[in-house]
Amino acid sequence: MRSKNELWIGYAVAVICLLVGVFCYSILPAKPPESPLRVMFSGMGGNVLFHHQTHIADYGLACKDCHHSVIGSPTDTPDSCESCHLKESVYTPALGKNGVFDHPAHSEDYGLNCSDCHHTYAEGDSGEPEACGTCHNPESEDGSMLGRVDAFHKQCIECHEASGVTPGGSDCAECHKPRPRKDAFHDQCMNCHEDSGAGPGRADCTTCHGY
Ligand code: HEC
Ligand code: HEC
Ligand code: HEC
Ligand code: HEC
Ligand code: HEC
Ligand code: HEC
Ligand code: HEC
Ligand code: HEC
């Protein structure tokens, strides 16, 4: 008798859960919650269903592993990737051969000293300043030493904001135009999967596409 009652209660709960689930599933896309359960991307490649909550709770990832942003505080609601990585965006690096950073203008025209940036070097020292990355290397992002990207962001943006010039911290695209939407997703999803040896890799198109 008792087990039959429990069975009925079980069925009732299951039916209620199903109804609530279907109801929520149908209204949620219209107004995303603080952190979506899952995200459905639809495009020419076939839809992709991304289990957002599973990636956070079960795979132990931090928000900033995916929602990278230089100045945003960790408690801010992140912007959608598409707000920066537009479909037609053309990637331009900040430094390097085709980068927007104009070293001659900064070192000769803006009234700055070498040591304003090369802070371990003083004019008159023998030799040339070392590249920032020899000390601030990507592996040093452990808190004791600023990593390469953080070192650049901090130095470039702090000086601009202190001198009242643009680009400031939120003018991302004036220092480097973000890669287009498809590459942003593919690079982020697949680089992490391949680095951690888990989840679909580059060749597994249909594991993600085709919903
Ligand atoms: C880890 C999951 C994943 C894998 C594996 C994957 N993709 Fe994607 N792909 C995505 C996501 C997410 C998007 C972004 C969808 C959007 O634009 O909204 C996307 C976007 C695309 C787009 C652009 C769609 C549009 O409308 O612009 C194409 C085309 C595409 N993928 C093709 C492929 C091909 C071909 C492969 C295999 C060689 C592949 N993808 C592997 C997740 C994946
Ligand atoms: C594995 C990567 C990943 C992790 C980890 C992650 N997110 Fe996301 N999140 C995404 C992707 C991808 C989207 C879809 C963005 C889009 O459609 O442009 C998204 C969308 C969102 C959105 C909706 C944004 C919008 O306007 O479309 C919010 C809010 C959000 N995430 C919050 C969080 C919070 C809070 C955390 C940490 C608790 C977190 N996310 C962790 C990848 C991630
Ligand atoms: C506030 C603007 C902004 C938002 C929001 C943003 N990005 Fe970016 N992202 C950039 C800029 C600027 C760069 C540097 C230029 C580049 O490498 O494309 C970048 C770089 C990247 C890179 C290459 C560097 C790296 O970290 O591996 C990937 C991949 C990427 N973004 C994916 C994403 C995804 C996926 C989302 C959403 C979860 C997202 N981005 C949200 C602006 C943004
Ligand atoms: C506004 C900041 C700034 C100023 C001012 C500046 N530099 Fe630089 N310099 C940089 C940055 C950023 C790089 C790229 C470093 C990297 O890629 O790690 C660089 C690279 C260099 C490099 C190449 C280092 C290498 O091995 O890749 C040399 C040499 C150099 N600067 C010399 C100078 C000299 C000499 C002055 C003064 C006349 C000067 N710089 C002024 C920011 C600056
Ligand atoms: C010879 C090694 C070395 C080189 C080269 C170097 N740094 Fe540093 N940098 C350090 C050390 C050590 C610190 C102090 C530890 C810390 O704060 O991470 C530091 C601190 C910083 C800080 C934080 C300062 C603050 O205000 O808190 C920034 C920003 C920075 N470096 C940017 C750069 C940039 C950009 C370059 C290249 C133009 C550069 N560094 C070249 C070793 C170096
Ligand atoms: C010590 C101060 C200082 C630092 C550090 C600095 N800048 Fe600048 N930057 C300036 C000043 C001053 C201007 C404005 C020149 C003007 O408009 O007259 C400027 C202008 C710019 C501009 C617009 C004009 C141009 O030269 O193209 C860009 C882009 C730029 N900086 C990028 C960067 C990047 C990237 C870094 C870091 C690698 C950086 N800056 C580091 C002082 C600095
Ligand atoms: C004042 C110039 C400046 C601004 C503004 C700026 N960045 Fe950067 N960013 C840099 C520099 C310099 C690097 C190091 C570039 C390199 O390695 O060639 C960098 C690197 C990055 C990287 C690593 C990219 C890679 O390819 O390794 C990301 C991601 C990024 N920035 C995102 C952002 C976002 C998001 C914003 C806006 C919220 C932003 N940046 C604003 C100068 C800037
Ligand atoms: C920072 C790391 C990271 C990023 C970024 C990331 N993933 Fe994953 N993903 C994982 C890990 C870890 C697993 C776990 C696989 C396992 O445990 O078998 C996984 C598993 C998956 C799986 C298979 C299991 C499941 O949950 O469905 C899919 C599909 C997937 N990811 C899609 C995506 C898509 C689409 C994106 C980009 C929007 C993305 N992932 C971004 C780390 C990441």
Identify the weakest region by mean pLDDT among 98-102, 127-131, 145-149.
Answer: 145-149
Please write the tens of the pLDDT for every residue from 10-25.
666 565 545 555 454 4
pLDDT of residue 44: 82
User: Which atom of ligand 2 is least distant from the CA of 81?
Assistant: 18
Distance from residue 93's CA to the centre of ligand 6 (Å): 15
Instruction: Tell me which amino acid residue 36 is.
Output: P
**C-beta separation of 107 from 114 below 8 A:** yes
Q: Is pLDDT larger for residue 71 or for residue 85?
A: 85
Distances (CA, A) of 159 to 75, 155, 163, 166: 25, 6, 6, 10
Please write the tens of the pLDDT for every residue from 173-196.
999 999 999 999 999 999 999 999
Please write the tens of the pLDDT for every residue from 77-115.
888 999 999 999 999 999 998 999 999 999 999 999 999
Residue list, ligand 2 pocket, CB within 6 Å: 32, 34-36, 39, 50, 52, 55-56, 61, 63, 65-67, 77-78, 80-82
Question: What pTM was computed for the model?
Answer: 0.89
pLDDT of residue 177: 93
pLDDT of residue 46: 86
d(CA 131, CA 204): 39
Distance of CA 84 to the CA centre of its chain: 10
Distance of CA 78 to the CA centre of its chain: 10
Two structure tokens written together for 67: 């929602």
Q: Place 75 in a pLDDT band, splitting at 50, 70 and 90.
A: low
Two structure tokens written together for 3: 């087990």
Ligand nearest to C-alpha 64: 2
Name the closest-CA residue to atom 26, ligand 1: 43
Distance from residue 26's CA to the centre of ligand 3 (Å): 30
Q: Best-predicted range by mean pLDDT among 26-35, 130-139, 162-171?
A: 162-171
Question: Considering the chain, what is the average pLDDT of its residues?
Answer: 85
